Chains A and B, each alone.
Chain A
Amino acid sequence: MHRALLLCLFVLAAFAPASAYEYPFKNPYEATVLGTLPRDEFPLDSIRPSSLRDLNPLSDLGAVRERELLLHERPVPEILWYDDTLQYSVALQRDVAPLLFIIAGTGSSYDSANCRFLQAVFHRAGYHVVSLSSPTYPNFVVSASTTQVPGFIPRDVADLYQSMDAIVNEIGRDRISSYNLTGYSLGGTQSAFLAELDTREKRFGFDKVMLLNPAVSLLTSATILDHLLSDNVADRTEAARVVADLVSDLSAAYRGSDEVNFGDEFLFALHGSRSISEKELKILIGVAFRVSLASMVFTSDVCTGAGYISPRGHVIEKNESLSPYLDAAVGVSFEDYVDEYLLPFLGFKDPTMTRERAVAASSLESIAPFLRESTSIAVMTNVDDPILTPDNLGFLKRTFNGRLTLYPAGGHCGNIRYRDNVAAMLDFFRK
């Protein structure tokens, strides 16, 4: 009798569906803005108890350290004085261990919430972890970019590669047993190019590479993000009004509660207080993208002195108001940036450069044969990621085949910290 019951159970277990994917936000824009609720995040304690780190505060080598590195001995514009060195963060093991690089997404720093989370996960899992800012982040533009004009992926990736090499030399190569790489959003795209560059330069020899929510084509994805704003508002005044309304709703949530502070929990609080319409979510994502683009464009322009935003030859003093420059810079879409600044710059450096060549070279399709053959590279993304067109998804499926994990929901990077996703990442790197 017992045996029969056990047999029944086994049979049932075999037919039971694999546990369903329960990431809560089914709307991709909601997922993109709200990310993963703290209760749904991968539990850090399940890897290693946090108290281990606090045993000896005097020699806590395991803690995350923020570091600076001087890569280029060149004068920095006075108003950008604080960005003269490349900032990154590192969490080291006490002994020889594998190293994992994390590359941040568009406009984000080594200290972004996603980087910090992944760094904590993999450090506890026994890796040395180095987080790097995106080449589109102002600190990287000023301190690490050779041209100081970001957006052309082969050039940006070469700069990243140099920085990674210099950081590894700082850590000491004899402390590292193998090299691994991951990145999200644009950082995912760049990781693929880095892997390809490394097969030629051979400084690391990556063991495993994982691309999280990568863009297939930088121009296509950036244009989609731009249109989230431009298709949903009549003009800049309306965009400003919608965002101001959202902020005052956030304020209402702040007033209504004693605990809410201006922090990460803010959006969750707003979400609880009223539902945000899909149009508002799109505008919010579009505005966030535009504002980070404005920071990048202005920083690059000040460094090159090209006269795109601030007048050529004008030195901005430290007490000068930057409000007019912000107004000018937020008016620049990514396509404007490409056509009015990036392409002319590339053409100035190399007269044979055309728009088609530059756009193609910044797409994963340009290294498709390499990606098809590289069994150590995997991709994790979502069917509903708004930065991917159906064509882009088709390309990922054809190129990566069984190495592509496609989640049914999560928007753009919304589920990176979700428990199932992180468990799958750990599985991939540890295998």
Chain B
Amino acid sequence: MRIFLLCLILFVSAGCATNGQHQPGPFQAPVHRGLPEDPTLERHFQVHDPWEGFNRNMYHFNAQLDRYVYLPVVRTYEAILPDSVQQGVSNIFNNLKEIPIFVNSVLQGKAKKASVSLGRFVFNTTIGLGGIIDVLGNGGIPQENEDFGQTLGFWGVPPGPYLVLPVFGPSGVRDTGGVFVDAAMTINPSYGLFQDMSWIARESVSTGVYGVKAVDARHQVKFRYYETGSPFEYQLVRFIYSKKRELDIEK
């Protein structure tokens, strides 16, 4: 949380540097392509998005946070640590995700996924030295993909309107609830390890772990804002996100 506040302060100061107001040039097009008013037009790629104004602001905010704060930190992290260490860090946090994946598989009655998840957690935690090595993943048993949003979807909870969350990005009302439930199920590894330390030491260690976790999370996501190059990226991302969630639930 403290890191997030620090980021926010840095970000606000970075956002202050602007380079004047853009003005239209002297050329005027002889034709104005009026916006089409045909209400019968089928819109196959339309997504339910009643809060588009808020969402677009948030998308904009996330993109700026990414560009001025988050990505520079992630790039430094990637430049300093060898690939193998970065992989180990990712493996530790991914291993802890097995807990919500297991619980959600059980809640959906998916026995095979639940057993894969449990097996991965047990083997990777023991033989894989606390999850540093993804023993089973390297052996061809990759992590399953289940979260509480999918569990709700599985039991018939509708996705609700599209919602862009600060930092987390594209989501929906249902999936937002899921994010918090899953987060509650993922323990911070420092709690168990540093119980004997003083309160201050324990708090700072756990804050550090959250910091590394945040950096690793961004490191693992390949998506980069505005990489599509299209000014219509918001629509594109909204459509792909919604479609992908729909399919994930069916799987």
* A interface list, Cβ under 8 A from B: 54, 57-58, 73, 75-80, 82-84, 109, 111, 133, 137-139, 236-237, 240-241, 243-244, 247, 251, 254-255, 262, 291-292, 294-295, 298-299, 301-302, 304-309, 311-313, 318-329, 331-332, 340-341, 344-345, 348-349
Contacts and interface: CB of A to CB of B under 8 A. Distances in A.
B32 A54 contact: no
Given A320-B56, A328-B35, A331-B36, A247 B243 contact: yes
A26 B44 CA distance: 32
Interface in B50-102: 52-54, 56-57, 60, 63, 67, 79-83
Contacts of A82: 63, 67, 225-226
Interface in B24-51: 24-36, 41-45
A241 B44 contact: yes
A198 B12 CA distance: 45
A103 to B, nearest CB: 15
Contact of A295 (B24, B83, B225, B230): B230
A142 to B, nearest CB: 9
B29 A344 contact: yes
Contacts of A326: 232, 235
Contacts of B41: 236-237, 327
A294 B31 CA distance: 16
Given A57-B83, A237-B42, A325-B232, 16 more contacts: A57-B81, A73-B19, A75-B19, A78-B22, A138-B230, A247-B243, A298-B231, A298-B232, A304-B24, A308-B31, A312-B32, A313-B24, A319-B57, A321-B53, A341-B29, A349-B27
Chain B binding site: helix, strand, loop or mixed by DSSP?
A: loop
A306 B35 contact: no
Contacts of A255: 247, 250-251
A58 B28 contact: no
Contacts of A57: 79, 81-83
A261 B175 CA distance: 20
A254 B63 CA distance: 29
Contacts of A291: 230
Interface of B: 19-36, 41-45, 52-54, 56-57, 60, 63, 67, 79-83, 225-227, 229-232, 234-235, 240, 243-244, 247, 250-251
Nearest to B43: A240
A80 B229 contact: no
A344 B25 CA distance: 14
A240 B230 contact: no
Contacts of A312: 24, 28-29, 32
A73 B33 CA distance: 30
Contacts of B227: 111
Contact of A348 (B20, B21, B27, B235): B27
Instruction: Give the interface centre of B80, B232, B235 by most chain A CB atoms within 10 Å.
Output: B232
A313 B29 CA distance: 12
B108 to A, nearest CB: 16
A251 B243 contact: yes
B230 to A, nearest CB: 4
Contact of B32 (A78, A111, A307, A320): A307
A251 B247 contact: yes
19 contacts: A54-B83, A75-B23, A76-B19, A82-B226, A84-B19, A111-B227, A251-B243, A255-B250, A305-B25, A319-B57, A324-B35, A327-B35, A327-B41, A328-B33, A340-B31, A341-B29, A344-B30, A348-B26, A348-B27
B226 A319 contact: no
Nearest to A112: B229
A306 B56 contact: no
A321 B27 contact: no
Nearest to B232: A326
Nearest to B230: A295
A318 B57 contact: yes
B139 to A, nearest CB: 16
Nearest to B81: A57
Nearest to A107: B229
Contacts of A318: 56-57, 60
Given A322-B234, A327-B35, A328-B35, A244 B24 contact: no
Contacts of B63: 82
A78 B22 CA distance: 8
B60 A301 contact: no
A206 to B, nearest CB: 27
Contacts of B83: 54, 57
A344 B10 CA distance: 45
B56 A321 contact: yes
Which 6 A-B pairs rank lowest in CB-CB distance, beginning with the nearest?
A: A305-B24, A244-B44, A308-B29, A75-B22, A340-B31, A306-B29
Instruction: Give the interface centre of A77, A247, A318 by most chain B CB atoms within 10 Å.
Output: A318
A301 B230 CA distance: 14
B89 to A, nearest CB: 14
B36 to A, nearest CB: 5
Nearest to A321: B52
A328 B38 CA distance: 11
Contacts of B42: 237, 240-241
Contacts of B21: 75
B150 to A, nearest CB: 14
Instruction: Give the interface centre of A84, A237, A349 by most chain B CB atoms within 10 Å.
Output: A237
A237 B30 CA distance: 27
A323 B55 CA distance: 14
A244 to B, nearest CB: 4
A243 B243 CA distance: 14
A311 B32 contact: yes
A311 B56 CA distance: 21
Contacts of A329: 33
Contacts of A236: 41
